[in-house]
Structure 1
Amino acid sequence: MDAVRLMKELRVNYEQEADFLPRETGLNLIVSAQQSGGQITARSRDVTVEDLWSLTSFFGYSTQSFVQAVSLLDRFLAMMRVQPKHLSCVSLSCLHLAARVTEAECDLTPADELIRIGQCRFTVSDLGRMEKIVAEKLRFKSKAVTALTFLQLYHQITLTHTTYRKETLSLEKLEAQLKACLCRISFSKAKPSVLALALLRQEMKSIQSDDMLEIAFHIQRHLKIPDAELQRWSERVARCLSDYASPKCCKPNHRKLQWIVSRRTAQNLHSHRSVPELPTIPEGCWDESESEDSGEDVMSSGDESLCSSLGSDAEGPFFPLHLRHQYLAA
């Protein structure tokens, strides 16, 4: 019964995946854009996705959050002409929107902390307005059908039909490989069902399981995926994973993120072995004029709207990564 249910679920998602594909014409414009042309380029898009990977790893977000954020980002960039100076705001808004539908409410990172850790130069109001724009343009309501959707289904179907060596087909490893592929805009043109199956077949070949490859073949026939299309993307996946395994490749999730704090806080951190206790803020003493979110509606002017100051904390040195959890605990 589980196998029948999974195959039905697979078919439903396969029929819906076209609704969540980015416009190919828009992707082509990004790929062909020149570095000095004042447009979003393939390189800037890929670097932005690597930053999203770093942030999701830093905040402990799931692979689902990262993949959903990339889906929103690619679809928005392929639809709208975005200026390079606004790209960081668009990407963080996509991550914030994605996390709302994939993470538990208690695990969500506040918008101001997301901006601070991302070391971005815009305000909470800017982020909120951008989220509304992205949600309206993409008609965002719930999770998109992505390559991760199919990868998880393929993995479950394979384990349902396999009686041995289940531990060798690691979903965690497959998810990591998918994230590596999504850091390249070329894979944004692949159908999610095909990209996921190409990843699955690549892993099955590496563990030398003919039985599992037979299951992958039946999945391909069930979805009527052409051999030529699957072969083309399988070759690209193999090249990408080979490059990613190279010691010269910088892994995005290993990037060091730092928290910006004020000079006084930094001095306290350096002068104490442990983080000193901070005084309790009395109720009724909050000055709204000091809030970074209390400024004018800079987005409405359209000129340098996302280049607002980070506030006084931006003047201080970086918060060491290894002290972050101690600081939060305090």
Structure 2
Amino acid sequence: MKFAQPWGRQRLSFLLEKAASREAQTWRGYVAKKQTSQDADVSPAQRDEAVRWLTELHGRLQLYPETLVLAVSILDRFLAPIKVRPKYLRCIAVACFFLAAKTCEEDECVPSLKELAASSNCGCSPSEILRMERLILDKLDWDLHTATALDFLHIFHAMATASRSGFLDSIGLNRSQHLGLLTRRLYACLADHALMQLRGSVLALALISLELETCCPDWLALTIDLLRKAQMDSSALIRSRELVSRSLSTPRASLPPNTVYIYHPLQLAAPARRPLGTMETPRDQPALPQAAAGEESKAPPPSPKHLAHLQKVPLRCKASTKRKVEQMDVDDFYDGIKRLYNEDATSAVHEGATPGGGAYSGGSSPCPPLQPVGAS
């Protein structure tokens, strides 16, 4: 990051006046466009996503903060008067970033176009970036020099530290560290299209004012002094403070774009176990009388000891077609068990049954009836 030596008050006033004059010539108010079709123009949310993507690219390449802020400024100036299809947005963004790097960086630090296309994963070739770069320059009349919010942030910070240098000691930061903290907050503000309607000077002064309020006792007097030097309207500053504070307090400003949310289900109490074959009564319907319930289905008879474990299996049945089919299967299962162990006491003994042979119907078995063994 580039930092200059402390300037005199006259030098700072001259730089502020020059930056404000340049801003008045190039700045255009943001007007939200009507979305006629999803692919007709870039939406504000897509613009914010492109800015966050440029911020990640800027962090990987470790370039000057001026490069990123100027790239976002060129991008907004290009998108404001024309309609652009979203599929070309990343190519436009990386072309704006390449123009800003060649403007702000040293020659040996500017990445090559091939390297930039490979590291950014923009999905376009170096020749396509060059053609888009020419379109941007033609649309902006080859004038990339403008006063950005970072320029005003440097000037206002130098003025504040020159007047009240003691507040930095209270927070334990030097000038470079404190300015780096404000710069990172500025990155978050640039990725919010709701702040595009603010001039860069107003946005920078709002950031400085909100920071002074937390660490400087006489922040209000210092803010009024900066407001008077910048020749701004106090109502515009109050409104910008509210917008900036709301933007920085939203959770989406600190979350990466590939955030993964993990669902943790609630641990509900285990339902009471019911005997096998019973039906659960819905809560919104009264329970059936005992007599009526007995007409619909009969309770299974007691089972022997070696089948007692079958009653411990919970079965929850609801009044639906699928559950009724399951209920019929359970009844058939019980009928088979009862026939196997001859426990159906209510069934009549067929003709021809022997005392020890179980139920037997004459003519239905290929084997003859068993006869008792006689004495020899």
**TM-score normalised according to structure 1 size:** 0.70
1:30-66 CA-partner distances (Å, limit 9, x unpaired): xx42672532101111100000000000100121111
Name the structure with the higher helix share.
1
Structure 2 residue corresponding to 1:28, chosen from 32, 36, 55: 32
Larger deviation: 80-89 or 35-44? 35-44
Unpaired segments ≥5 residues, structure 2: 1-6, 260-376
The answer to whether the Cα contact below 8 Å between 2:48 and 2:192 also exists between their aligned partners in 1 is: yes
Larger relative CO (CA 8 A, sep 6+): 1 or 2? 1
Confirm or deny that 1:110 pairs with 2:112.
Answer: yes
Identical pairs, percent:
28
1:303-323 CA-partner distances (Å, limit 9, x unpaired): xxxxxxxxxxxxxxxxxxxxx
Aligned residues: 247
State the distance in 1 between where 2:183 and 2:256 align.
14
Match of 2:296 in 1: none
Structure 1 outlier segments of 4+, above 6 Å: none
Confirm or deny that 1:210 pairs with 2:217.
Answer: yes
Match of 2:374 in 1: none
Question: Which amino acid counterpart does residue 227 of structure 2 have in structure 1?
Answer: Q
Question: Which amino acid counterpart does residue 36 of structure 1 have in structure 2?
Answer: Q
Question: Which amino acid counterpart does residue 42 of structure 1 have in structure 2?
Answer: P
The answer to whether the Cα contact below 8 Å between 1:39 and 1:83 also exists between their aligned partners in 2 is: yes
Structure 1 residue corresponding to 2:196, chosen from 182, 188, 197: 188
Question: Which amino acid counterpart does residue 99 of structure 1 have in structure 2?
Answer: A
Question: Which amino acid counterpart does residue 111 of structure 2 have in structure 1?
Answer: T
Larger deviation: 69-78 or 109-118? 109-118
Please give the residue correspondences for 1:208-287 in structure 2 after superposition, counting only pairs within 5 Å.
Answer: 209-243=216-250, 246=251, 249-251=254-256
Check 1:211–1:72 CA distance in 2 against 1; reply closer, same or farther (3 A cut).
same
Confirm or deny that 1:11 pairs with 2:17.
Answer: yes
3-state DSSP of counterpart to 2:111: coil
Q: Report the alpha carbon displacement of residue 184 of structure 1 after superposing the two structures with TM.
A: 1.0
State the distance in 2 between where 1:108 and 1:71 align.
19
The answer to whether the Cα contact below 8 Å between 1:93 and 1:128 also exists between their aligned partners in 2 is: yes
Question: Which amino acid counterpart does residue 10 of structure 1 have in structure 2?
Answer: L
Unpaired segments ≥5 residues, structure 1: 256-330
Check 1:192–1:76 CA distance in 2 against 1; reply closer, same or farther (3 A cut).
same
Confirm or deny that 1:176 pairs with 2:184.
Answer: yes
Between structure 1 and structure 2, the one with the greater Rg is 2
Confirm or deny that 1:153 pairs with 2:155.
Answer: yes
**TM-score normalised according to structure 2 size:** 0.62
1:266-314 CA-partner distances (Å, limit 9, x unpaired): xxxxxxxxxxxxxxxxxxxxxxxxxxxxxxxxxxxxxxxxxxxxxxxxx
State the distance in 1 between where 2:194 and 2:36 align.
16
State the distance in 2 between where 1:193 and 1:114 align.
31
3-state DSSP of counterpart to 1:149: helix
1:112-153 CA-partner distances (Å, limit 9, x unpaired): 121112212221111111111111211234532011110000
Question: Which amino acid counterpart does residue 32 of structure 2 have in structure 1?
Answer: N
